[in-house]
Amino acid sequence: MLREVNQNVLTILLFEALLGTGTMEWIPTWTAEFKSAVWILIALYTLLLLGIGLLIVHLSQYMPSDFTGCTMFDYFLGRKLGGVLNLLLLGFLLICAGKALLLGTSLIHYTTLPYTPTIALVLFAMLTPAQIFYAGFDSLLRFQTVLFVPALILAVVLLLLCFRTADFSNLLPVTPRPSMLTADSLTKVMELLQGLILFVIYIPLFKRFGMSVTLTKRSFTYAGFGIIMLNVLNLLVVLTVLGPFEASSTQWPVIEVVRIQKMTGPLLERLDLIFLLPVLIAVISAVNLYSYGAHHVMSYYTHPSQWVRLIWVFGLILLIVAIPNNQQVAYSVYGTIIKSFELMFFCLIPVMWLIRRMAAKERRIFK
């Protein structure tokens, strides 16, 4: 099939799905409650990410390579229930794409263009995915992979440079108080797990193109440990340079950490603007993945022309971005909807596994 469909491409795609926008807006929320003991949330995040991710990959091995359904929901939960969940998934993907665009425009307003209208930045940002989707899945894979390595290397190098001003005493104490560990801790961790929902779309697509379960599991392992290491690096840099109290009171702590690095030379006086490049690439990649997923679901249930589907997808995303007058209210409302769907999704994955186990047991009994 496609030359671009291989283990390396799937690894990059899964990594970008787990990364999301790359704006690290979760750091202030986590440090505000847990201070320097935030590592307990990282440990919980690691367990949930690897556990749920491996379970999704494990479930995918039972799907035939010639499966023509829309998502994993169709295969394990039936066409009717799967269809309802796919429609809910469509709304979730559109909201995630809209929220990613809002985060990207907020970051641009904060760093470089404070007076540029949000709608103008959103329209400009949507030009790239619109052209990619019209050209097909091949173009999406090429775009997602061609900028990945240079952007990742640039971001990691700039983050490592920030250790010049680090104070590792800011990491103490590392032990959380028992009162810190509540049910709300789980909802905070869920902010970093919404990329797992994209797996039910993209893993079946790659399986359809001949990707084996062994290679899929290896791709997820590389992507999972890679994103954990990147998130740990970002958190470590923020805590050691700013400290937990300042980190919790800053909207974009990673940008601030890079901004305060004083270096002389051409293009080095504003390192935060250089760091903005890989972050915006991550934002566009997230928008691409969410909006293409929505396009994929819409294509399965409706059959208009390609242009009509694109107009519907991007029109709805634009509506999601343009409706709220207050961005903080939008983040709160959209965040609640996203968390609700995530909670339902994480409950459904074990149910799908149980359905598969029961079906296998019934076949053994009849034999």
266-280 pLDDT per residue, tens = 666 778 888 999 999
Number of H helices, E strands in the chain: 17, 0
Check residue 69 and give its pLDDT. Answer: 87
44-68 average pLDDT score: 92
Whether 42 contacts 236, CB under 8 Å:
no
66: tokens are 């010639």
Question: What pLDDT digit, counting tens, does each position of 290-312 carry?
Answer: 999 999 999 998 877 778 888 89
Mean pLDDT of 21-34: 90
Q: Are 196 and 18 in contact (CB under 8 A)?
A: yes
CATH superfamily placement of domain 7-366 = Amino acid/polyamine transporter I (1.20.1740.10)
Q: Is the dihedral of CA 65, 13, 345, 300 positive or negative?
A: negative
Encoded amino acid at 98, one letter: G
236/190 Cα distance (integer angstroms)? 20
CA 215 remoteness from chain centre: 21
Find the range with the poorest average confidence among 17-26, 143-152, 263-272.
263-272
Residue 1: what pLDDT? 45
Whole-number pLDDT of residue 346 = 93
What percent of the chain is modeled with pLDDT above 90?
A: 58
* Six token digits for residue 206: 């790659």
d(CA 126, CA 315): 10
Spatial distance between the Cα atoms of 143 and 129, rounded to a whole number of angstroms? 9
Amino acid code (one letter) for 259 = R
**Alpha carbons 250 and 236: distance in angstroms, whole number:** 15
Cα–Cα distance measured from residue 102 to residue 271, given in angstroms and rounded to the nearest whole number: 23
Phi-psi sector, 267: left (phi>0), alpha (psi -120 to 50), beta: left
CA 62 to chain centre: 25
pTM confidence score:
0.94
CA gap 315, 291 in Å, rounded: 11
Q: Tokens representing 30?
A: 């986590």
Closest-CA residue to 99 (of 348, 317, 367): 317
Q: What are phi and psi of 356, to 5 degrees?
A: -65, -40
pLDDT, position 181: 65
Q: How far apart are CA 94 and CA 320, in angstroms?
A: 8
Query: According to the model, what pLDDT value does residue 197 have?
Result: 96
Confidence at residue 125, expressed as pLDDT on a 0 to 100 scale: 87
Question: What does the alpha-carbon distance between residue 264 and residue 139 come to, in Å, rounded to a whole number?
Answer: 39
Q: Which two tokens stand for residue 95?
A: 């909201």
> CA–CA distance from 202 to each of 10, 141, 206, 280, 332 (Å)?
9, 11, 6, 22, 28
Tokens of 317: 């995303």
Handedness of CA 214, 215, 218, 223 (dihedral sign): negative
C-beta separation of 317 from 291 below 8 A: yes
Q: Above 60 in pLDDT, residue 367?
A: no
Omega prior to 266 cis, within 30 of 0: no
141: exposed, middle or buried (Cβ count in 10 Å: 0-12, 13-18, 19+): buried
pLDDT for 230-249, tens place per residue?
Answer: 999 999 999 999 999 999 99
% of the chain with per-residue pLDDT over 70? 93
Q: Which two tokens stand for residue 331?
A: 């983040």
- State residue 192's pLDDT score: 92
Q: 107: which 2 tokens?
A: 């970051």
**Average pLDDT for 43-65:** 93
Question: If you average pLDDT over every residue of the chain, what do you get?
Answer: 89
If one counts every other C-beta atom within 10 angstroms of the C-beta of residue 28, the result is: 17
The pLDDT value given to residue 323 = 82
The per-residue pLDDT for range 182-232, each reduced to its tens digit, is 667 778 898 899 999 999 999 999 998 888 899 999 999 999 999 999 999
